[in-house]
Amino acid sequence: MRDTHLLRADSGSDFAYGAPQASAAGLQVALSIYADRGHLRASLREDAEAAGLTVCAAGSLDLLLDGQARPLGDVVLVDCPQIDAQRMAALARLDLRAARSEARLIVSTSVEALDDVFSCMDQSAPVLLVDPNRAERVIALGQVLASFPSARLRELSDDDRLMLLRLSEQVGQIAGRIERLAPGPVASADVSASAFGFAGSAREELAQPALATASGLPDGRLVRKIIRQRQLRSRFLDGDLFADPAWDMLLDLTASRVECKRVSVTSLCIASGVPPTTALRWIGQMVEAGLFARVCDDSDRRRAFIELTDKAAHAMARYFSEIALSAPVPV
């Protein structure tokens, strides 16, 4: 049973901790909110209550920084646009607690703080948002709530639901094409069983240029040329007409693998050509599809990168092999 002790009210706390009450909609999903900006806490509360949720706690980030273990809601909203060592430690503790308690985290941050926030939250698979507007926060909340099978939720708008379905369907189609392109089953030692892991042998392959090129991937200069050609279109036509974040990220990671470079999540978001929050949703879907992998820096646990899985690398090699035998390289 959830803790029900009360928190002394202060200027940074809007509500007291308490037992979540059943709402009129009959939901049993409790929500915690941590944000320094009072107006943001108010809007988050308004949207949560509109969805029929119970806000069991809300307050400033200081409540996370003081190190005292407080009960978590089923869903925890955190706004952390600026990062420092103390905040990183607090987010890492929150991430571990959420993973143990199966609470779902939605964390909003800024482009400048994204890499640090991403690197210290690798246990609970949080939903990350970058400088989101109110609609993006609501969509993220809807995504998380939809993962609670027993919760009776108000439906998202038709447009939002179609957008989420399209995202999932497209990634599923890409994963299916990757499976068909792959030359055969990949040895379990080469691909991590965890969506957020990466086998040591794969890291060694990345560090050695001879092994990277031996996999059949093309010269990195060719891939970079294709990327530049794709970007050139936006100088003459609306870039939204050609938005294809999954492919743009696959190309960028392919070139980086050949060049033996590691790619930060911020850099990959830029390469996607879409807003960071949208790019993060795609990255999450591609990780789940087994095409991307999260890699921690062994020399600095505060850093994390995104790389192709071996399965995706083999498929990209087959793709470039096929087009080399036919027409000029398409863009």
Per-residue pLDDT of the chain (331 residues; tens, 9 = 90+): 333 333 333 344 554 444 334 333 444 688 999 999 999 999 999 888 877 788 988 999 988 888 676 788 899 999 999 999 999 999 999 999 999 988 999 999 999 999 999 999 989 999 999 999 888 888 888 878 777 654 444 444 555 555 555 555 555 555 555 555 555 443 333 332 222 232 333 333 344 433 344 457 888 888 999 988 888 888 888 877 778 899 999 999 999 999 999 999 999 999 998 899 989 989 999 999 999 999 988 777 678 899 999 999 999 998 888 877 665 555 5
Show which of 104, 135, 155 is a domain's final residue: 155
Q: Which residue intervals of the chain are DSSP H helices?
A: 38-50, 62-65, 85-101, 114-119, 134-146, 158-181, 200-206, 209-214, 220-232, 245-259, 265-272, 276-288, 310-324
Please report whether residue 8 resides in a domain: no
Within this chain, do residues 172 and 298 fall inside the same structural domain, yes or no?
yes
Choosing from 155, 190, 221, the residue where a domain stops is 155
Query: pTM of this prediction?
Result: 0.68
Say how far apart CA 187 and CA 176 lie, in whole Å: 19
Tokens 């955190």 — which residue? 78
What domain range includes position 235?
159-324
Same domain, 236 and 294: yes
Predicted local confidence at residue 326, as pLDDT: 63
From first CA to last CA, the distance across the chain in angstroms is 56
Specify whether 91 is located in the same domain as 208: no
Structure tokens at 65: 């920084």
What's the confidence (pLDDT) of residue 15?
45
Total number of domains in the chain: 2
C-alpha 67/C-alpha 70 separation (Å) is 9
In a shared domain, residues 241 and 177: yes
Please tell me the predicted confidence (pLDDT) of residue 19: 38
Give yes or no: residues 141 and 193 share one domain.
no
Residue type, 189: A
Q: How many CB atoms lie within 10 A of CB 134?
A: 12
Sequence length of the chain is 331
Supply the CATH number for residue 136's domain.
3.40.50.2300
Burial of 136 (0-12, 13-18, 19+ CB in 10 A): middle
In terms of domains, do 141 and 179 share one? no
CATH value at residue 282: 1.10.10.10
Buried b (16+ CB within 10 A) or exposed e, 9-48: eeebbbbebbebeeeeeebebbbbbbbeeeebbeebbebb
